[in-house]
Structure 1
């Protein structure tokens, strides 16, 4: 009996040890040899040698190239280095931040036993790499091995990151089959041996604060690894990370304004030491709903079981990766943290001069917070416990909010620079307010509206918002979601539901002013849509290619920003217009002709005409004048 108890305890403690520090990992060179000896890698080496003559010399060169790739990729994990990094990061966080707030991490602890965990955080800063590993380590779980860009494999820094669990990959290796084979097998080895993995599905850091479209590469390799060998179930864990003040904020603004992206260097890293004197507020990390890979694969049939994947990607793999991309993006966005900086940014950036009377700002903040509590975006949404006055005091303490004393009441405002920088915090949570703000646009422009008209117009616009902001509602969920938001807007006093009609407050009331103010949250997005539709309508079907339309939209939005003070670089971001143009094709409003031009029928001009329900006349007239009269010289 004692031997049985001892055996059970040994197994139990071994599993607990693996959860905390991971399974035993052999020396880096041993792992490299294991990767090089794998059948897919040997086949790739043979193919590479054959492509260069097939003789002994070509074979040796191919083998040497594969070894060099493996050494370039492989981590050199060292637990003593992890302990050193832990002490350093504890010091760093206390210098940079007022705290790191973590929500719903019990989700990871509950799912970790017996599963291969793949952490998928949003990517907003280089700090992300360090932050998640630090939190996981302090929660007593295995530090993940992180897929890091080769641009971070710098002298000194690269070695430290590698020993902390980073493995490096090149930005693109589609045309290098040998490198792809080595990387695929290295990832497969890490997964099958039970090591937690972390990578960023967006591919790069978001420069605007919006979630970027997920990339297929690492997801496809993970799915292929699982199809090849189901050593243990794989669970994807989406994670939202939000910063009140961003370390790289000014760099991002410069890039959005047209400055070229700088290549990382050790010198630039040393220069960031100056930033340690600044206060960057708090960091928020919220864990989303786990996604079980086997469930996603089985939902598409059982073709994946025992399948071998060659040069042509099978349909089941493409379908599974597409499903994962959408579920992961929705999972990250379904775990927003609505903090004081996010809400203050949301409210003030919707004003023409980024300024408000203190009393009105307090009321607006309290109403927005009340709305988020009455109709939360998802069950995992975290809303600040501060009231409006406390939020203002907090942002003043961070030097984000300025105060101008006045006999009739103080005015609070954002400087021009802070307005641009805080747009990042606003964009982190914009999706959480997109639907109620869209309804506010409709009701503020149409003070007595039939409920059926609200549903119709939301259904018209929502597919574009869903694609741009990764909203969680599918077509079948729209009516229930609209009803929930209408009830919440009624509860905060911004509209009244009377039978089948939706009524705006009296135009002279504070509630109406607040409704109009809240509606401005979505105005830049709706204006971008109208610019695109107006340009297409003005030029006619078959006159523009997607690239030409994207360029024209960028220039028109840039000009409109100069004339009407839409002070945020992402307002004329080409990527957002590119996404909208692609969505027009996907939902059937446009198609690409044989000559590459955009073709459309009468439905597109009719859709553009619906802008009268959401945009004021002066804005529509200004855009129509620009698109019809001032674009000839831009094409």
Structure 2
């Protein structure tokens, strides 16, 4: 760079400095990008723009990367460090001259061919000012949209208006050595390389800002004109004996009720507000595995987010995280109950589209909603919906509702030209603001209707909420899943008619189970849920501090590796003292000072803490069952534990959405045994494993671990015990008897978990027993036990503590 250019840059950058505020994607460059600072680095940019380069210069300084204005010297030849694909058009609309990108890349490749020791890196750097996607027939594009190769004057105004919303995204470096060795060094390779870079930048722009937004009225009119919806409108007119125009107006009313009105400006304002709120409420938001989602978006996948639902905060938190990770905010399926003033219009402009709780009996509404969803996906808008439909009141995942997922699969059967990827998301909190309300509802109080007064009431309660967790689970490629399940599925594609082939219901059910399983696999451990897990297992929900710390250490060790939860997130600091100090700081536990502090839960708080325990209970079911097996038998073998696991998992898997291969189970069991041996909680002699004696001090640890699964086993035992002394029973009588017995057991043995007396969970277990042939129906429709139930009974009874088992079997 000559002295004149250097002087010009230094003069210009100072007035630009206060105008520019940049967000870098990914935030942790050194962790996620394999950049080698010992090798020469070149930056590849979309446009030769001084404002882009000045923003990049500031970012590189903070990230300890080379200054883009500093030259690169290779074997005595000097190059500019930045390679720009295009020049900005002149303000006078003169023909643009090409950049020297292609000649420079060709020269670099040639040097690599001549000198085998060279290995420079090309780092694609995408820069955008604002996230405005553009809108059909909109004058706003003139100022806010930098997608249309603006001239220098327009670029100045873009920076002036959107400079505080600059986003720079770095991609993985490309090795020129590898390119030269694998593909050659001629002009065609250089040209192809830059063409691929242009396509890469287009994909990044689409992933960040999304496709152009349609005018809402034009979108609705387009939906009304679609062949699929027109046919249903005609059928509605005939069925209800009204005119086609009246049926059309009815459909139009439905579409106006549901359709989003996404505004990037509202999202931008919401981003500032939510940043302030999160800083007030949370110590940190921990995000994991978002790189997988970004990769799918850059590859052109239709992204469908399917998160669990814990709190009303979910709507805001997940969208906020997606936006901050450089991805376009999704259109969100929200219940019609949230369409209240003033939040409804705000949510709608933030991308929410509203749906009624039930479509049953209203074919026109169902068709309008389905057509709207298809149009969102076909036009490339990311979508988010909650497979559980409602918020979990117990902290466990709910049985999924398959309606939205079925419509997603049907969208694929309409011939969507891009692959669809379902992205499961685990959302967790150290404090859920509605948890006390949930407990009231579980006790039978009516659900409070959403309103502006409820929002104001919530705002009054805002306080320190600890930490939040957003973990993106393993994505599910819907197209590949369809091919694996039915290789001829594309034969059912029809561009206008919704298809529902014979294999469709079972496939949708299988996908829903996979989604929930992947959510659970991405669970997040933290000080609060681990402390709740241990204290709720302890007598009177109290432990000495040192015993509690020891138990937390064991819990972390059991899942630090070889756990069959590949996306599991451990706490930021796994030291047991730090975990407990943080949990105590959340003001949920009583601390009784003494020679050794006692940590305990009040009766009321114990009920609330079951919610946080249930967030992670599924993670510790296998270790708990192994501990229970070791305690209940004098001697155990690995094969014995595995055999019990497989039988119990058969009935437990549906309730807790657990899916493990035999290899995963064996690997996890080996890790559990090794951990227990390291903590001196069992001994091994040959193949035989023996738990330490109950008289030893460390026995408490093993016993607490075995208690984690006790409530689940006790619920199973209650249903099984209902068949003792009975030949046959109706399903209604079975469920009523089991529920009454569960309530008695909860009172006698101080069981706090509201889900223990949840009728729906007991009903699901009965259905699972029938599905697995533990129960069968006679000609009169009565339920009878089979020989299989006797085998399950022997295992479950053996794992339950004696005094509780006696209560369960009391006639």
Of 207, 215, 218, the match for 2:401: 215
8 Å CA contact 1:374, 1:488 repeated in 2 = no
1:244 to 425, 430, 454: 430
Q: Which range moved further: 104-113 or 6-15?
A: 6-15
Matched, 1:291 2:455: no
Cα shift at 1:262? 2.4
Q: Does 1:389 align with 2:580?
A: no
1:141-173: CA deviations, max 9, x gaps? 110000111111112111000000001111110
CA distance in 1, matches of 2:584, 2:217: 53
The aligned counterpart of 1:624 is: 809
For residue 379 of structure 1, the aligned residue among 566, 587, 598 is 566
Residue aligned with 2:246, SS: helix
Q: Which runs of 5+ in 1 are unaligned?
A: 629-635
Separation of aligned partners in 2, 1:132 and 1:600: 46
1:564 aligns to what? 749
What is the match of residue 273 of structure 2?
A: 88
Q: Does 1:307 align with 2:492?
A: yes
Counterparts of 1:56-455 in structure 2, within 5 Å, are 57-113=242-298, 114-276=300-462, 278-307=463-492, 313-384=500-571, 385-407=573-595, 409-455=596-642
Conservation of the 8 A alpha-carbon contact between 2:739 and 2:762: yes
Q: Is the 8 A contact 2:334 2:355 kept in 1?
A: yes
Matched, 1:21 2:191: no
Q: CA RMSD, aligned part only?
A: 2.1
Give the secondary-structure state (helix, strand or coil) at the position aligned to 1:509: coil
What is the distance in 2 between the residues matched to 1:66 and 1:177?
10
Contact kept in structure 1, 2:424 and 2:519, CA below 8 Å: yes
Give 1:414 shift.
Answer: 1.4
1:48 alignment counterpart: 236
- Post-superposition Cα deviations, 1:117-158, rounded to whole Å, max 9, x if no partner, equal 111111111111111110111111110000111111112111
- CA distance, structure 2, for counterparts of residue 411 and residue 12 of structure 1: 58
Query: Partner of 2:636: helix, strand, or coil?
Result: strand
Once the two structures are superposed, the pairs formed by residues 503-542 of structure 1 within 5 Å of their partners are 503-538=690-725, 540-542=726-728
Instruction: Quote how far apart the aligned CAs of 1:228 are.
Output: 0.7
**Aligned-pair CA distance for 1:445:** 1.8
Q: Report the Cα distance in structure 1 between the residues aligned to 2:198 and 2:713, rounded to whole angstroms.
A: 61
- Shift of residue 243, structure 1, vs aligned partner: 0.7
SS in 2 for 1:337: coil
1:479 shift after superposition: 4.2
How far off its partner does 1:622 sit? 1.1
Corresponding residue for 1:38? 226
Q: Which has the higher contact order (CA 8 A, sep 6+)?
A: 1
Q: CA deviation at 1:12?
A: 4.9
Q: Please say if 1:494 is aligned against 2:590.
A: no
Q: Secondary structure at the match of 2:709?
A: helix
- Residue equivalent to 1:574: 759
Q: How far did 1:15 drift?
A: 3.0
1:2 aligned to 95, 98, 116, which one? 98
Change (3 A) 1:504 1:418: same
**Bigger mean CA offset, 80-89 vs 457-466:** 457-466
Q: Secondary structure at the match of 1:142?
A: coil
Q: Distance in 2 between matches of 1:475 and 1:175?
A: 45
SS of 1:305's partner is: helix
Give the structure-1-normalised TM-score.
Answer: 0.93
Conserved? CA contact 2:637–2:689, under 8 Å: yes
Task: Flag structure 2 segments of 5+ consecutive residues without an equivalent.
Answer: 1-96, 103-148, 150-193
Distance of aligned partners of 1:367 and 1:462 in 2 relative to their CA distance in 1, 3 Å threshold:
same
How far, CA to CA, are the matches of 1:225 and 1:311 in structure 2? 8
Q: Aligned partners of 1:167, 1:235: CA distance in 2, in Å?
A: 20
Aligned-residue offset at 1:499: 2.1
Which is richer in helix?
1
Residue 604 (structure 1) shift: 2.2
From the superposition, tell whether residues 10 and 243 of structure 1 become closer, same or farther in structure 2 (CA, over 3 Å): same
Structure 1: how far apart are the matches of 2:626 and 2:200? 54
Q: Secondary structure at the match of 2:422?
A: strand
Q: 1:482 and 1:206, CA in 2 relative to 1: closer, same or farther beyond 3 A?
A: same
Deviates more, 1:610-619 or 1:197-206: 610-619
Matched, 1:552 2:737: yes
Distance in 1 between residues matched to 2:203 and 2:498, nearest whole Å? 38
Distance 2:734 2:447 in 1: 25
User: 237-246 or 471-480, which moves further after superposition?
Assistant: 471-480
Matched, 1:609 2:797: no
